[in-house]
Structure 1
Protein backbone atom coordinates (compact mmCIF):
# COMPACT_ATOMS: atom_id res chain seq x y z
CA UNK A 1 0.00 0.00 0.00
CA UNK A 2 1.39 3.37 -0.93
CA UNK A 3 1.55 5.81 1.94
CA UNK A 4 1.61 9.04 -0.09
CA UNK A 5 -1.99 10.24 0.18
CA UNK A 6 -5.10 10.26 2.35
CA UNK A 7 -6.21 7.25 0.28
CA UNK A 8 -4.05 5.07 2.52
CA UNK A 9 -5.85 6.28 5.65
CA UNK A 10 -9.25 5.75 4.03
CA UNK A 11 -8.33 2.26 2.82
CA UNK A 12 -7.20 1.15 6.28
CA UNK A 13 -10.26 2.68 7.90
CA UNK A 14 -12.61 0.91 5.48
CA UNK A 15 -10.79 -2.41 5.87
CA UNK A 16 -11.12 -2.33 9.66
CA UNK A 17 -14.71 -1.12 9.45
CA UNK A 18 -15.61 -4.08 7.23
CA UNK A 19 -14.05 -6.51 9.71
CA UNK A 20 -16.02 -4.90 12.56
CA UNK A 21 -19.34 -4.93 10.68
CA UNK A 22 -18.95 -8.60 9.75
CA UNK A 23 -18.17 -9.60 13.33
CA UNK A 24 -14.60 -10.65 12.70
CA UNK A 25 -13.52 -8.05 15.22
CA UNK A 26 -16.14 -8.52 17.98
CA UNK A 27 -17.24 -5.83 20.48
CA UNK A 28 -14.78 -5.11 23.30
CA UNK A 29 -11.99 -7.11 21.62
CA UNK A 30 -8.52 -5.57 21.56
CA UNK A 31 -6.93 -4.54 18.29
CA UNK A 32 -3.30 -5.41 17.57
CA UNK A 33 -0.77 -2.76 18.51
CA UNK A 34 -0.31 0.12 16.07
CA UNK A 35 3.10 -1.28 15.11
CA UNK A 36 1.56 -4.63 14.17
CA UNK A 37 -1.17 -2.91 12.16
CA UNK A 38 1.39 -0.80 10.32
CA UNK A 39 3.24 -4.00 9.34
CA UNK A 40 -0.01 -5.65 8.24
CA UNK A 41 -0.97 -2.73 6.00
CA UNK A 42 2.62 -2.00 4.92
CA UNK A 43 2.46 1.59 6.05
CA UNK A 44 3.56 3.87 8.88
CA UNK A 45 2.21 4.10 12.41
CA UNK A 46 1.19 7.69 11.70
CA UNK A 47 -1.08 6.52 8.89
CA UNK A 48 -2.53 3.75 11.05
CA UNK A 49 -3.16 6.23 13.86
CA UNK A 50 -5.04 8.54 11.47
CA UNK A 51 -7.23 5.65 10.35
CA UNK A 52 -7.96 4.66 13.94
CA UNK A 53 -8.83 8.25 14.82
CA UNK A 54 -11.35 8.27 11.97
CA UNK A 55 -12.95 5.11 13.35
CA UNK A 56 -12.92 6.57 16.86
CA UNK A 57 -14.79 9.63 15.60
CA UNK A 58 -17.43 7.27 14.17
CA UNK A 59 -17.72 5.47 17.50
CA UNK A 60 -16.46 2.16 16.12
CA UNK A 61 -13.28 1.92 18.18
CA UNK A 62 -12.01 3.45 21.40
CA UNK A 63 -8.68 3.68 23.17
CA UNK A 64 -7.57 3.55 26.76
CA UNK A 65 -4.40 5.09 28.10
CA UNK A 66 -1.55 2.56 28.22
CA UNK A 67 -3.87 -0.27 27.10
CA UNK A 68 -4.40 0.33 23.40
CA UNK A 69 -7.35 0.25 20.98
CA UNK A 70 -10.56 -1.74 21.38
CA UNK A 71 -13.74 -2.38 19.38
CA UNK A 72 -16.61 -0.34 20.80
CA UNK A 73 -19.45 -2.34 22.39
CA UNK A 74 -23.10 -1.55 21.54
CA UNK A 75 -24.32 1.84 22.71
CA UNK A 76 -26.58 2.13 25.73
CA UNK A 77 -30.04 3.49 24.92
CA UNK A 78 -30.51 6.66 26.99
CA UNK A 79 -34.18 7.70 26.95
CA UNK A 80 -34.56 11.25 28.25
CA UNK A 81 -38.30 10.82 28.78
CA UNK A 82 -38.08 7.67 30.89
CA UNK A 83 -37.77 8.08 34.66
CA UNK A 84 -35.00 5.72 35.63
CA UNK A 85 -31.47 5.72 37.02
CA UNK A 86 -28.15 4.43 35.75
CA UNK A 87 -28.19 0.98 37.34
CA UNK A 88 -31.82 0.30 36.39
CA UNK A 89 -31.31 1.60 32.84
CA UNK A 90 -28.22 -0.56 32.28
CA UNK A 91 -29.74 -3.69 33.88
CA UNK A 92 -32.92 -3.34 31.82
CA UNK A 93 -30.78 -3.64 28.69
CA UNK A 94 -29.16 -6.86 29.87
CA UNK A 95 -25.85 -5.36 30.87
CA UNK A 96 -23.90 -4.96 34.09
CA UNK A 97 -23.58 -1.58 35.83
CA UNK A 98 -21.02 -0.54 38.42
CA UNK A 99 -20.48 2.76 40.26
CA UNK A 100 -17.20 3.89 41.82
CA UNK A 101 -17.15 6.83 44.25
CA UNK A 102 -14.21 9.15 43.67
CA UNK A 103 -14.99 11.80 46.29
CA UNK A 104 -17.85 13.16 48.41
CA UNK A 105 -17.66 16.36 50.43
CA UNK A 106 -19.29 19.63 51.41
CA UNK A 107 -17.66 22.52 49.57
CA UNK A 108 -18.28 26.11 48.41
CA UNK A 109 -20.52 26.27 45.34
CA UNK A 110 -18.98 27.66 42.16
CA UNK A 111 -20.73 30.44 40.27
CA UNK A 112 -21.99 27.86 37.75
CA UNK A 113 -23.54 25.66 40.44
CA UNK A 114 -25.02 28.65 42.26
CA UNK A 115 -26.72 29.57 39.01
CA UNK A 116 -28.00 26.05 38.28
CA UNK A 117 -29.35 25.53 41.80
CA UNK A 118 -30.43 29.15 42.27
CA UNK A 119 -28.31 29.54 45.40
CA UNK A 120 -27.02 32.84 46.80
CA UNK A 121 -23.34 33.74 46.69
CA UNK A 122 -20.99 31.91 49.07
CA UNK A 123 -23.35 28.95 49.46
CA UNK A 124 -22.19 25.42 50.21
CA UNK A 125 -23.10 22.31 48.22
CA UNK A 126 -22.49 18.61 48.59
CA UNK A 127 -20.32 17.46 45.68
CA UNK A 128 -20.25 13.75 44.85
CA UNK A 129 -17.94 12.63 42.03
CA UNK A 130 -18.38 9.13 40.61
CA UNK A 131 -17.18 7.00 37.73
CA UNK A 132 -19.47 4.42 36.18
CA UNK A 133 -18.88 1.24 34.22
CA UNK A 134 -20.95 -0.80 31.81
CA UNK A 135 -19.76 -4.40 31.46
CA UNK A 136 -16.51 -3.36 33.22
CA UNK A 137 -15.81 -0.57 30.73
CA UNK A 138 -15.53 2.99 32.10
CA UNK A 139 -18.10 5.07 30.21
CA UNK A 140 -19.26 7.90 32.47
CA UNK A 141 -17.82 10.44 34.88
CA UNK A 142 -20.45 12.43 36.77
CA UNK A 143 -20.36 15.29 39.26
CA UNK A 144 -23.48 15.54 41.45
CA UNK A 145 -24.20 18.79 43.29
CA UNK A 146 -26.78 18.61 46.08
CA UNK A 147 -28.45 21.34 48.08
CA UNK A 148 -27.34 20.30 51.61
CA UNK A 149 -30.57 21.64 53.11
CA UNK A 150 -32.44 18.62 51.73
CA UNK A 151 -29.82 15.89 52.28
CA UNK A 152 -28.28 16.15 55.78
CA UNK A 153 -25.62 13.51 56.44
CA UNK A 154 -25.72 12.04 52.94
CA UNK A 155 -21.94 11.74 52.64
CA UNK A 156 -22.04 9.13 55.43
CA UNK A 157 -24.07 6.71 53.29
CA UNK A 158 -22.79 4.16 50.78
CA UNK A 159 -22.71 6.33 47.66
CA UNK A 160 -21.90 3.47 45.31
CA UNK A 161 -25.64 2.82 45.23
CA UNK A 162 -28.29 4.70 43.26
CA UNK A 163 -28.79 8.23 44.58
CA UNK A 164 -32.36 8.08 43.27
CA UNK A 165 -33.11 5.13 45.55
CA UNK A 166 -31.19 6.69 48.45
CA UNK A 167 -33.20 9.91 48.14
CA UNK A 168 -36.46 7.94 48.27
CA UNK A 169 -35.57 5.57 51.09
CA UNK A 170 -33.87 7.98 53.51
CA UNK A 171 -35.20 11.44 52.62
CA UNK A 172 -38.66 10.70 51.14
CA UNK A 173 -37.58 12.70 48.08
CA UNK A 174 -38.51 11.67 44.55
CA UNK A 175 -37.67 13.36 41.30
CA UNK A 176 -40.26 15.56 39.65
CA UNK A 177 -39.35 17.86 36.77
CA UNK A 178 -35.94 17.42 35.13
CA UNK A 179 -34.22 19.82 32.72
CA UNK A 180 -31.56 18.55 30.33
CA UNK A 181 -28.89 20.27 28.26
CA UNK A 182 -26.48 18.34 26.03
CA UNK A 183 -23.41 19.43 24.11
CA UNK A 184 -20.52 17.56 22.49
CA UNK A 185 -17.31 18.29 24.34
CA UNK A 186 -13.62 17.51 24.72
CA UNK A 187 -13.14 15.68 28.01
CA UNK A 188 -11.55 17.90 30.65
CA UNK A 189 -8.91 16.85 33.18
CA UNK A 190 -11.09 15.20 35.85
CA UNK A 191 -13.29 13.37 33.35
CA UNK A 192 -10.37 12.17 31.24
CA UNK A 193 -8.52 10.90 34.31
CA UNK A 194 -11.60 9.08 35.66
CA UNK A 195 -12.31 7.45 32.30
CA UNK A 196 -8.61 6.67 31.66
CA UNK A 197 -8.56 8.42 28.29
CA UNK A 198 -6.37 11.15 26.82
CA UNK A 199 -7.12 14.74 27.76
CA UNK A 200 -9.32 16.27 25.07
CA UNK A 201 -10.87 12.97 23.94
CA UNK A 202 -14.36 13.37 22.44
CA UNK A 203 -17.25 13.17 24.87
CA UNK A 204 -20.86 14.15 25.47
CA UNK A 205 -21.69 16.53 28.32
CA UNK A 206 -25.19 16.16 29.76
CA UNK A 207 -26.32 18.67 32.36
CA UNK A 208 -29.37 17.69 34.42
CA UNK A 209 -31.14 20.05 36.81
CA UNK A 210 -33.54 18.17 39.07
CA UNK A 211 -36.65 19.15 41.01
CA UNK A 212 -38.45 16.97 43.55
CA UNK A 213 -42.11 15.98 43.79
CA UNK A 214 -42.84 19.27 45.58
CA UNK A 215 -41.20 21.39 42.88
CA UNK A 216 -38.11 22.19 44.95
CA UNK A 217 -34.78 22.56 43.12
CA UNK A 218 -32.77 19.86 44.88
CA UNK A 219 -29.69 18.94 42.86
CA UNK A 220 -27.94 18.93 39.51
CA UNK A 221 -25.69 16.47 37.70
CA UNK A 222 -22.98 17.16 35.15
CA UNK A 223 -22.31 13.96 33.21
CA UNK A 224 -19.35 13.34 30.91
CA UNK A 225 -19.93 10.29 28.69
CA UNK A 226 -17.58 8.62 26.25
CA UNK A 227 -19.08 9.74 22.96
CA UNK A 228 -19.48 6.15 21.69
CA UNK A 229 -21.17 4.82 24.84
CA UNK A 230 -24.76 6.01 24.50
CA UNK A 231 -27.55 6.66 22.04
CA UNK A 232 -29.80 9.49 23.29
CA UNK A 233 -33.48 9.51 22.36
CA UNK A 234 -36.74 11.14 23.39
CA UNK A 235 -40.32 10.42 22.35
CA UNK A 236 -42.77 13.28 22.92
CA UNK A 237 -46.45 12.43 22.77
CA UNK A 238 -48.56 14.88 20.75
Structure 2
Protein backbone atom coordinates (compact mmCIF):
# COMPACT_ATOMS: atom_id res chain seq x y z
CA UNK A 1 0.00 0.00 0.00
CA UNK A 2 1.32 3.42 -0.95
CA UNK A 3 1.90 5.75 1.97
CA UNK A 4 0.97 8.68 -0.29
CA UNK A 5 -2.68 8.20 0.61
CA UNK A 6 -2.32 8.52 4.37
CA UNK A 7 -0.05 9.78 7.09
CA UNK A 8 0.91 8.01 10.29
CA UNK A 9 -0.32 9.48 13.60
CA UNK A 10 1.86 12.21 15.05
CA UNK A 11 2.16 12.04 18.83
CA UNK A 12 3.04 15.74 18.93
CA UNK A 13 -0.41 16.70 17.65
CA UNK A 14 -3.18 17.47 20.17
CA UNK A 15 -5.67 15.03 18.59
CA UNK A 16 -5.81 11.55 20.19
CA UNK A 17 -4.02 8.78 18.29
CA UNK A 18 -7.25 6.87 17.72
CA UNK A 19 -8.77 9.94 16.08
CA UNK A 20 -5.76 10.34 13.79
CA UNK A 21 -6.03 6.66 12.80
CA UNK A 22 -9.73 7.19 12.11
CA UNK A 23 -8.98 10.08 9.77
CA UNK A 24 -6.21 8.14 8.05
CA UNK A 25 -8.50 5.19 7.34
CA UNK A 26 -11.22 7.56 6.12
CA UNK A 27 -8.70 9.14 3.73
CA UNK A 28 -7.70 5.75 2.32
CA UNK A 29 -11.35 4.80 1.72
CA UNK A 30 -12.14 8.14 0.07
CA UNK A 31 -9.13 7.74 -2.21
CA UNK A 32 -10.54 4.46 -3.52
CA UNK A 33 -7.49 2.49 -2.42
CA UNK A 34 -9.83 0.40 -0.28
CA UNK A 35 -12.94 0.22 -2.53
CA UNK A 36 -16.48 -0.50 -1.43
CA UNK A 37 -16.91 -4.12 -0.39
CA UNK A 38 -13.18 -4.79 -0.04
CA UNK A 39 -11.63 -6.33 3.05
CA UNK A 40 -9.18 -4.05 4.83
CA UNK A 41 -5.86 -5.43 6.21
CA UNK A 42 -5.88 -7.47 9.41
CA UNK A 43 -5.44 -5.73 12.76
CA UNK A 44 -1.80 -6.72 13.18
CA UNK A 45 -0.97 -5.30 9.77
CA UNK A 46 -2.87 -2.07 10.53
CA UNK A 47 -1.02 -1.67 13.83
CA UNK A 48 2.26 -1.82 11.94
CA UNK A 49 1.01 0.55 9.22
CA UNK A 50 -0.08 3.22 11.68
CA UNK A 51 2.45 2.53 14.43
CA UNK A 52 -0.20 2.23 17.16
CA UNK A 53 -1.30 -0.33 19.72
CA UNK A 54 -4.14 -2.78 19.11
CA UNK A 55 -6.26 -0.95 21.71
CA UNK A 56 -5.86 2.35 19.85
CA UNK A 57 -6.61 0.69 16.51
CA UNK A 58 -9.74 -1.04 17.80
CA UNK A 59 -11.02 2.25 19.20
CA UNK A 60 -10.74 3.79 15.72
CA UNK A 61 -12.28 0.76 13.98
CA UNK A 62 -15.21 0.68 16.40
CA UNK A 63 -15.96 4.34 15.77
CA UNK A 64 -15.81 3.89 12.00
CA UNK A 65 -18.10 0.89 12.25
CA UNK A 66 -20.61 2.88 14.30
CA UNK A 67 -20.45 5.67 11.74
CA UNK A 68 -21.24 3.18 8.97
CA UNK A 69 -17.96 3.34 7.06
CA UNK A 70 -16.79 -0.17 7.97
CA UNK A 71 -18.50 -3.52 8.58
CA UNK A 72 -16.92 -6.09 10.89
CA UNK A 73 -17.85 -9.75 10.33
CA UNK A 74 -17.02 -12.26 13.04
CA UNK A 75 -14.48 -14.77 11.83
CA UNK A 76 -13.97 -13.04 8.47
CA UNK A 77 -12.54 -9.58 9.08
CA UNK A 78 -13.45 -5.94 8.45
CA UNK A 79 -14.87 -4.65 5.17
CA UNK A 80 -15.63 -1.27 3.59
CA UNK A 81 -19.38 -0.80 3.62
CA UNK A 82 -21.47 -0.25 0.53
CA UNK A 83 -23.24 3.11 0.24
CA UNK A 84 -25.24 3.32 3.45
CA UNK A 85 -26.22 6.28 5.59
CA UNK A 86 -26.31 5.50 9.30
CA UNK A 87 -28.61 7.59 11.48
CA UNK A 88 -28.17 7.81 15.20
CA UNK A 89 -26.53 10.09 17.74
CA UNK A 90 -24.67 12.58 15.57
CA UNK A 91 -24.01 16.25 15.01
CA UNK A 92 -26.54 18.47 13.26
CA UNK A 93 -25.20 18.33 9.71
CA UNK A 94 -26.48 18.45 6.18
CA UNK A 95 -26.88 15.32 4.06
CA UNK A 96 -23.82 16.42 2.08
CA UNK A 97 -21.70 16.58 5.23
CA UNK A 98 -23.00 13.25 6.55
CA UNK A 99 -22.20 11.47 3.32
CA UNK A 100 -18.73 12.99 3.19
CA UNK A 101 -18.08 11.93 6.77
CA UNK A 102 -18.87 8.34 5.79
CA UNK A 103 -16.36 8.44 2.95
CA UNK A 104 -19.07 8.28 0.28
CA UNK A 105 -19.05 10.27 -2.94
CA UNK A 106 -21.99 12.66 -2.61
CA UNK A 107 -24.41 12.97 -5.50
CA UNK A 108 -27.73 14.71 -6.01
CA UNK A 109 -30.26 15.03 -8.82
CA UNK A 110 -32.71 17.91 -8.72
CA UNK A 111 -36.30 16.75 -9.21
CA UNK A 112 -38.21 19.95 -8.43
CA UNK A 113 -37.40 23.52 -7.43
CA UNK A 114 -40.04 26.20 -7.16
CA UNK A 115 -42.79 27.88 -5.18
CA UNK A 116 -45.76 26.14 -3.63
CA UNK A 117 -48.08 26.70 -0.67
CA UNK A 118 -47.74 25.12 2.75
CA UNK A 119 -50.14 22.29 3.50
CA UNK A 120 -51.30 21.56 7.04
CA UNK A 121 -48.24 19.46 7.94
CA UNK A 122 -45.71 21.96 6.58
CA UNK A 123 -47.53 24.92 8.16
CA UNK A 124 -47.55 23.26 11.58
CA UNK A 125 -43.86 22.33 11.29
CA UNK A 126 -42.76 25.78 10.12
CA UNK A 127 -45.14 27.65 12.44
CA UNK A 128 -46.77 29.57 9.59
CA UNK A 129 -50.31 29.80 8.26
CA UNK A 130 -51.59 27.08 5.95
CA UNK A 131 -51.43 28.32 2.37
CA UNK A 132 -48.45 30.63 2.91
CA UNK A 133 -45.80 30.44 0.15
CA UNK A 134 -42.85 28.10 0.62
CA UNK A 135 -39.88 27.18 -1.52
CA UNK A 136 -39.92 23.48 -2.39
CA UNK A 137 -36.70 21.60 -3.17
CA UNK A 138 -37.03 17.94 -4.11
CA UNK A 139 -33.84 15.97 -4.73
CA UNK A 140 -32.75 12.40 -5.37
CA UNK A 141 -29.82 11.74 -3.05
CA UNK A 142 -26.97 9.48 -4.15
CA UNK A 143 -24.00 7.87 -2.44
CA UNK A 144 -21.29 6.46 -4.69
CA UNK A 145 -23.75 6.92 -7.60
CA UNK A 146 -26.34 4.65 -5.91
CA UNK A 147 -29.76 6.07 -4.94
CA UNK A 148 -30.19 6.36 -1.18
CA UNK A 149 -33.27 8.52 -0.76
CA UNK A 150 -35.57 11.27 -1.96
CA UNK A 151 -35.66 14.45 0.10
CA UNK A 152 -38.31 17.12 -0.17
CA UNK A 153 -37.47 20.31 1.73
CA UNK A 154 -39.79 23.26 2.27
CA UNK A 155 -38.59 26.71 3.36
CA UNK A 156 -40.90 29.63 4.25
CA UNK A 157 -40.52 32.37 1.66
CA UNK A 158 -40.64 34.97 4.44
CA UNK A 159 -37.30 33.61 5.70
CA UNK A 160 -35.66 33.16 2.29
CA UNK A 161 -36.84 35.96 -0.04
CA UNK A 162 -35.58 35.70 -3.64
CA UNK A 163 -34.23 32.21 -2.97
CA UNK A 164 -35.33 31.09 -6.43
CA UNK A 165 -32.76 33.44 -7.93
CA UNK A 166 -30.27 32.72 -9.39
CA UNK A 167 -31.38 29.07 -9.27
CA UNK A 168 -31.19 25.92 -7.13
CA UNK A 169 -28.20 25.82 -4.77
CA UNK A 170 -25.31 23.56 -5.62
CA UNK A 171 -23.96 21.39 -2.81
CA UNK A 172 -25.16 21.83 0.75
CA UNK A 173 -28.47 23.62 1.30
CA UNK A 174 -27.34 24.69 4.78
CA UNK A 175 -24.22 26.32 3.37
CA UNK A 176 -26.34 28.27 0.89
CA UNK A 177 -28.74 29.41 3.63
CA UNK A 178 -25.87 30.49 5.85
CA UNK A 179 -24.13 32.38 3.08
CA UNK A 180 -27.20 34.17 1.71
CA UNK A 181 -29.39 34.72 4.78
CA UNK A 182 -27.26 34.10 7.84
CA UNK A 183 -29.45 31.11 8.72
CA UNK A 184 -27.49 28.55 10.74
CA UNK A 185 -29.18 25.45 12.18
CA UNK A 186 -29.01 24.98 15.94
CA UNK A 187 -31.45 22.09 16.43
CA UNK A 188 -33.33 19.49 14.42
CA UNK A 189 -36.17 17.20 15.48
CA UNK A 190 -36.71 14.01 13.50
CA UNK A 191 -39.51 11.45 13.38
CA UNK A 192 -38.90 8.04 11.77
CA UNK A 193 -41.54 5.67 10.47
CA UNK A 194 -41.77 2.87 7.93
CA UNK A 195 -44.04 3.04 4.89
CA UNK A 196 -44.40 1.44 1.47
CA UNK A 197 -42.77 3.26 -1.43
CA UNK A 198 -45.17 4.55 -4.09
CA UNK A 199 -44.63 3.79 -7.76
CA UNK A 200 -43.08 7.18 -8.64
CA UNK A 201 -40.58 7.16 -5.77
CA UNK A 202 -39.84 3.46 -6.28
CA UNK A 203 -38.77 4.10 -9.87
CA UNK A 204 -36.39 6.84 -8.75
CA UNK A 205 -34.95 4.67 -5.96
CA UNK A 206 -34.63 1.63 -8.23
CA UNK A 207 -36.99 -0.42 -6.07
CA UNK A 208 -40.16 -2.43 -6.71
CA UNK A 209 -43.29 -0.45 -5.86
CA UNK A 210 -44.52 -1.23 -2.36
CA UNK A 211 -41.05 -1.89 -0.92
CA UNK A 212 -40.80 -0.81 2.74
CA UNK A 213 -38.67 2.28 3.31
CA UNK A 214 -37.88 4.73 6.08
CA UNK A 215 -39.82 7.99 6.01
CA UNK A 216 -38.07 10.70 8.00
CA UNK A 217 -39.67 14.03 8.90
CA UNK A 218 -37.21 16.70 10.00
CA UNK A 219 -37.87 20.16 11.40
CA UNK A 220 -34.75 22.31 11.60
CA UNK A 221 -34.58 25.53 13.59
CA UNK A 222 -32.20 28.42 14.07
CA UNK A 223 -32.26 31.12 16.74
CA UNK A 224 -35.42 32.61 15.21
CA UNK A 225 -37.37 29.36 14.95
CA UNK A 226 -38.10 26.68 12.34
CA UNK A 227 -36.84 27.38 8.84
CA UNK A 228 -36.89 23.95 7.17
CA UNK A 229 -39.36 21.07 6.97
CA UNK A 230 -37.99 18.04 5.13
CA UNK A 231 -39.61 14.71 4.35
CA UNK A 232 -37.19 12.00 3.22
CA UNK A 233 -37.95 8.58 1.78
CA UNK A 234 -34.86 6.44 2.37
CA UNK A 235 -34.05 2.99 1.03
CA UNK A 236 -34.17 0.50 3.89
CA UNK A 237 -31.15 -1.41 2.60
CA UNK A 238 -29.00 1.74 2.41
CA UNK A 239 -30.19 3.66 5.45
CA UNK A 240 -29.60 2.37 8.95
CA UNK A 241 -30.63 3.62 12.39
CA UNK A 242 -28.56 2.88 15.47
CA UNK A 243 -29.20 3.94 19.04
CA UNK A 244 -27.24 3.67 22.25
CA UNK A 245 -29.35 3.30 25.39
CA UNK A 246 -27.92 3.99 28.82
CA UNK A 247 -29.39 3.69 32.30
Question: What is the TM-score with the length of structure 1 in the denominator?
Answer: 0.64
Unaligned runs of 5+ in 1: 1-25, 29-71
Q: Which of 213, 218, 229 lines up with 1:208 in the alignment?
A: 218
8 A Cα contact 2:113 2:168, kept in partner: no
SS at match of 1:154: coil
For residues 237 and 191 of structure 1, do their structure 2 counterparts lie closer, same or farther at Cα, with a shift above 3 Å needed?
same
Structure 2 match to 1:104: 113
| Counterpart check, 1:162 vs 2:172 | yes
Give the length in aligned residue pairs.
Answer: 169
2:164 and 2:206 map into 1 onto residues whose CA distance is 25
For residues 148 and 190 of structure 1, do their structure 2 counterparts lie closer, same or farther at Cα, with a shift above 3 Å needed?
farther
By relative contact order (CA 8 Å, sep 6+), the higher-ranking structure is 1
Unaligned runs of 5+ in 2: 1-35, 39-80
8 A Cα contact 2:106 2:144, kept in partner: yes
| Counterpart check, 1:138 vs 2:129 | no
SS at match of 1:139: strand
1:163 and 1:237 map into 2 onto residues whose CA distance is 34
For residues 222 and 137 of structure 1, do their structure 2 counterparts lie closer, same or farther at Cα, with a shift above 3 Å needed?
same
Structure 2 match to 1:192: 202
1:209 and 1:235 map into 2 onto residues whose CA distance is 22
2:88 and 2:176 map into 1 onto residues whose CA distance is 22
For residues 202 and 160 of structure 1, do their structure 2 counterparts lie closer, same or farther at Cα, with a shift above 3 Å needed?
farther
